[in-house]
Chains A and B, each alone.
Chain A
Amino acid sequence: DQQVKQNSPSLSVQEGRISILNCDYTNSMFDYFLWYKKYPAEGPTFLISISSIKDKNEDGRFTVFLNKSAKHLSLHIVPSQPGDSAVYFCAASEANNAGNMLTFGGGTRLMVKP
């Protein structure tokens, strides 16, 4: 039973356009959400996070939106760049816990075409 789901295994976007990556969760106890980015042959790196007391968090070209009632979050990348091509993992936890309490989604592979 996957508590965190990323239903789109891949996404292709033109350079300069918006990329929207989606994530759904089922556990209503989750109250902290993170996005990680992973390039081939590298480990995941932290990208952006959001607490459940907020509905939006922005960091440069990256914005995460949280809809608690729908148990849904999304990552927006504007404008998309070829260097953004990677696998993006959504993760969730109860409170801002470290790796021992994170539940990950299966990842979405983003391809940004020049």
Chain B
Amino acid sequence: NAGVTQTPKFRILKIGQSMTLQCTQDMNHNYMYWYRQDPGMGLKLIYYSVGAGITDKGEVPNGYNVSRTTTEDFPLRLELAAPSQTSVYFCASSRYLIGDTIYFGEGSWLTVV
């Protein structure tokens, strides 16, 4: 049962570097999301996608980009990493537009130094 798979689990970046967080799901879900969670804070939506070829900004999109070329994959790109992007990143997917059906990945811990 793979579900939602994120890579890498841990990464240390230097300020100004770029990287891509990979996310793939094997449940044929239309909807995919990227969240970040800062210490003591709730999850905040970065970007989401309602299907292949369609993406939209969430609450905190600045400094990130996404693409959705296939149903399965939803990579998150960090351009010019900044210390403020130190966070835990969660990818998620859902079959329907209802919150009860969201499946989250295990998270990716990113530190920018």
Residues of A within 8 A of B (CB): 2, 4, 9, 32, 34, 41-46, 49, 89, 91, 93, 96-100, 102-107
Chain A residues with CB under 8 A of B35:
99
Query: Which residues of B line the A interface, CB within 8 A?
Result: 4, 31, 33, 35, 40-45, 48, 56, 58, 90, 92, 94, 96-107
Chain A residues, CB < 8 A from B107: 41-43
Q: Identify which of B4, B44, B97 contacts A97 (C-beta below 8 A).
A: B97
Residues of A within 8 A of B105 (CB): 43
Q: Is the CB of B100 within 8 A of A44?
A: no
**Given A41-B106, A43-B105, A97 contacting B58 (CB threshold 8 A):** no
A46 contacts which of B40, B102, B106 (Cβ < 8 Å)? B102
For A105, give the chain B residue with the smallest CB separation: B42
Contact A102 B104 (CB under 8 A): no
Could you tell me the distance between the alpha carbons of A105 and B41 in the complex, rounded to whole angstroms?
A: 7
Contact check, A44 vs B43: say whether CB atoms are below 8 A apart: yes
Contact assessment for B42 and A99 in the assembled complex, using a CB-CB cutoff below 8 Å: no
Residues of B within 8 Å of A100, CB to CB, are 31, 33, 45, 48, 56, 58
- Given A44-B43, A104-B42, A98–B31 Cβ distance below 8 Å? yes
**A43 with B92, Cβ < 8 A, contacts A100-B48, A100-B56 known:** yes
> 9 pairs across A/B with beta carbons < 8 Å?
A4-B42, A43-B104, A46-B99, A49-B100, A98-B96, A98-B101, A99-B45, A100-B56, A106-B41
CB neighbours of B56 from chain A (8 A):
100
A45 and B43 in contact, given A97-B98, A99-B33, A99-B94 (Cβ under 8 angstroms): no
